[in-house]
Amino acid sequence: MPTIPHSKARPIERRSLHEELLVQLRSLITDGTLRPGMKVPERELCERFGVSRTPLREALKVLAVDGTVILTPNRGATIAEVTLEELDEAFPVIGALEALAGEIACQKITEAELVEIRALHDEMVKHWKAGAAQEYFHCNRRIHEMIMSATRNSCLQSHYSTLAMRISNIRYVAGIDPERWRQAIEEHEAMLAALEARDGAELARILRAHLVNKLETVRSWLERQ
């Protein structure tokens, strides 16, 4: 049974047990701690989070609805694997949703949010220079999430969250070669510039291209597995 690093999980606060469990599980899936095809270590997670199996399994049922995990009778939960065909279908839709989010965010984002995104971007660049991939991807993910959040559009956020969650553990943990990594940084520089200029059309264009390039990275990584 794989051991989950202590830093990847924290005790659950009882006042928001169900929501916190979902957040924690999604984080473990997104950062690659719980990888595609891996059996969910329920006992270990219960110990880490300080909960019984009942609320954990309720949270897993929610993840099963959006296809993130697969529940098998008498065998527990397994992190769902994603096929190339699914990626080919999902990435253009995610790209369209992120492009729309970019247009709307440019209209509604606050100066405080821009400052926070700039700080995340600067931190991400530091991790890139240090070759710290997991830390880099954490900042990368937060930037995309903050752009989506800045839309103040719950309908858009809901559709995006459901689809993005399905492929997030592939999107953010697939290997990346040095040249593509450098290109991704340049794309994020352009994203930030468009966002700060509140140029929605330009940000939408960059986000679409960014997702196309990411799909090629993921495709190459999966084909090597």
Looking at the structure, do residues 92 and 189 belong to the same domain, yes or no? yes
Looking at the structure, do residues 91 and 157 belong to the same domain, yes or no? yes
* Count of domains for the chain: 2
Range of the domain at 64: 6-79
Looking at the structure, do residues 16 and 33 belong to the same domain, yes or no? yes
Q: How many CB atoms lie within 10 A of CB 70?
A: 17
Question: pTM value?
Answer: 0.74
Looking at the structure, do residues 131 and 55 belong to the same domain, yes or no? no
pLDDT of 209 reads 94
- 13-22, 33-42, 43-52, 207-216: lowest mean pLDDT where? 13-22
Q: Residue 166: pLDDT band by 50, 70, 90 thresholds? A: confident
**In 3-state terms, what secondary structure has residue 68?**
coil
**Which residue is associated with the tokens 């019984």?**
52
| pLDDT reading at 15 higher than 50 | no
Instruction: For 100-118, write each residue's pLDDT tens digit.
Output: 999 999 999 999 999 999 9
Looking at the structure, do residues 205 and 97 belong to the same domain, yes or no? yes
1 in a structural domain:
no
Looking at the structure, do residues 123 and 199 belong to the same domain, yes or no? yes
CB-count exposure of residue 214 (10 Å: 0-12, 13-18, 19+): buried
Q: What percent of the chain has pLDDT over 70?
A: 88
CATH number of the domain to which 41 belongs: 1.10.10.10
Q: Which amino acid is at 52?
A: S
Looking at the structure, do residues 148 and 129 belong to the same domain, yes or no? yes
